[in-house]
Structure 1
């Protein structure tokens, strides 16, 4: 655990109350206070978490330990301590996975997604949210919402937690869509959350969701309706004492009134938010709101106040090391000092802003520096001329001639400079427009390619849905109908066979859906690639276990000869998917009562896997079709097993992430060898 800075507070009474309880009651008491921790300072929360960890570790309950780690990670995220937060939530996820605590696991993934979102890693955040979202059964969620008030209190508390976790994940989806400017999808998610929160009486979530919906209306320029929603959210948050929500909403109201030119109202709401952020040591929102307040003071003509607030924000950003807020603060100060006529300070802060913001236009930067340097040079020369005029009053004629000469030269120089500057500016504008046209053409070309890929993806999905998903579903529906109608009486053996058919169809359907989901992620560049050193023998053994039933059904032995301790540098999830698809194909095309061998070799350049079967084999033409990356190829197995060909298409795409290769060696009616090559870690 990290060291905490603890302040003396009213929590002393809580400590006495906790010490009078025992075991799990102590933990529950602390969690209740943390659940309403909007009225606590950061130090007080830290103190409570330290106490909580002391209790859960002394109790030795891993579920309680995982829950504490997960919630502590969320607290660290909100205080911008991202690496510590990631470590804490990661440990919680390991515990929840170990004991199959699915709801807590999904909830922790959602907390990790929020962390990635706050650090602008939207692809990773979307991947984590999708994984968490898929862990809930949507029909069960709908039933819980409809019948929530019918359950007894104990059952309602349990279901309430499940629904709260689901709304948090759905909210994160909405916020991701908002960041990606897909406002319609964001609105759908937020309204879904609002319905659930109102159904279970979660006023915190109601307030937060109303605020999110108000943000959307603000983006649509429906400012009056946005204000109405924000005020409604504040009233809801007041009912549960959620001061953090109220502060965030005050900041948003300040933004709206600033846009409307209602500066006094804007300043009032910004100041309310700043007071809360400062007391609770919430650095990022504090800096952001200070910059907003400084700009409103500037717009209202109160430049000295604007400078004071902006300077305070800039100094805080420097101590925090936030380049974003340092750059913005420096830009504001440069503008404010320039307005006051303090060109030296304006120039210094403009230089600082340039250092932290390379995206600032070079021409604007150079023009501003030239203007300020000219101004300072002019003031210096004016003072020098005044001194010279006093010292050389007897040589007035010569001095006048000298001044006239200097002025004429200056005028000529200015004329030449202006012509040069105008030509340069025009040339720069032409180049910029040409670059914009070229960029637009590139975007159009990329869009055309993307559209073609999307059409191919859509056609592939429709083909799979029309045939390969419908077939196993038809088997399941057909057999289930026979059993339900009871028109035919089956003996035990027939029931076993029917159950086997249902199980096989369901597993095929599940494998297909998993491949479809992963393939769709690769098509949209949403998949995360995290290579690491993996124990190859352990992974192969685990993968073999997944296919025991399928292999036994065809009396096939899967034999692996992987050296103990051999590792491979790859993404664990991707490599698992690759192996599952290759081994599944080997079983599909192997003869009954045959063998499949898995071997591995390594050298200083690569690690190579060989999957060898004694199946039907292939012609060179079939091999060429399989290795095509733009289209899939499928054939029936030795027991007429069907497939989509999506598996090998997915294998090729996942191998590309690793810079790996797939080679196929085969002879018709003799079998095939699939050779997977992965480069060693550089």
Structure 2
């Protein structure tokens, strides 16, 4: 019955529970304790695979205690494995990590090398999910080493599949293909459709990255066939996103959109953030390729929001995992210290019964122990001093950022908000309130547009200051993205009757974080419009210079003095001024541009002359 329950895991989850509960009913009356405990484990696994994680966790935690009491060591480590899986599925990586460390120690202590390999595989998967592929490979390679040393081939295919997945993200594609091919051979022989599907999807991603779209499509379609036989929503979502991306590059937008929409619906139903991000990104590309700017912006903003959530959760989980590791290490040290103290007391009892020779030995041991403790305390003090120093530096940086934030808010936000308050008050209290409101409504709208633009810059600047913020470099079509940005300012351009020429050639590419690209040129084009008089001209030019694209934004506006140019990019100074139509600024936009350009391995500088105009020169990388 137990074997049938296990074998139905990838076929029919209801059958898993039926066979496990039948096994328990048969074992309990005859006092077969192992059968009861093993049945409870399979019942918990059944609810776990059906997605009822709370009920599964309750069953497994109780069973963990019972299996330890009955010294069923193999079941203990297998139950640990199931609990770890539940924590991973709930994205509670710190608890999954702590549980895995306990399981590894327990399995190794009881010479259960098979489950030692299984739990190391779990830890590797956790680091893989957190995009820490260096650490994930360390644990996966440990699994291969243990398999070789102890001649245990447990989960060999899963280990190779996960190694291939890690090498994919490290862009070592040939190594990825080698390991994934080994995994595929194993899964075909053992007939594990869920892992076979995962391997097909990963191979599809590898060939997609290598731009071998024919091969990528072949493996994604094989994965699609496998997913018709199994219940794996996350894998299905990844497969559909892979097909959508491949069809998009194969110029089949209808099929791409069909798969992307299905992936997004499934990801929303199962709260799979990575799936929501991937499907939103491809829908954005599809909308942009159809010139559906409004729809593309909706998908872009949604993708950014999901991306921020994933980044936040990832950073939080990494910190919590470090804390869990340290706490677990501390607990082990406390247990060891307690054992050491117990042994020391026993030694003292024996010492009193022995002759003076042993007293001298104890004295020597005491001195040795004191020296060790002194060294330990000195090292701990030095570590704490270093931690305090780093904390002080971090606090100083936060204080400087806070001062700058308050300066901008107090200087630039307070005025428009006070004006809005007075206008609303006058409109409500005066008989001519409606007339006043209509008279000043255009100015009020301009003030609100300014506040909205300012808040965008403040939020982006704040995010850029966060430690651990990650870049996602990708190839960007400069002319298309520039046209999308210009479209945002079309009303301002028409109001001031400015001629804006986008002279970037078709097919011009740069390698940059897309979000950063949009923020940089949104600010630069906004400034050019702001400081150009009516009927003025703005030119946007691009030329390749030694693996870099030099983009120049030139206007014939009011220009700047040398003194103003020196203040533009200084972090310590908050400099702002009004445009030709009294447009407001924050003094933060150019500073944000400089920081983001430098983070993307680029540079920016300005040339300007009063009453003749300004030229901003931006150098951006065109390849890796």
TM-score w.r.t. length of structure 1: 0.45
TM-score w.r.t. length of structure 2: 0.49
Question: Based on CA coordinates, which of the two structures has the bigger radius of gyration?
Answer: 1
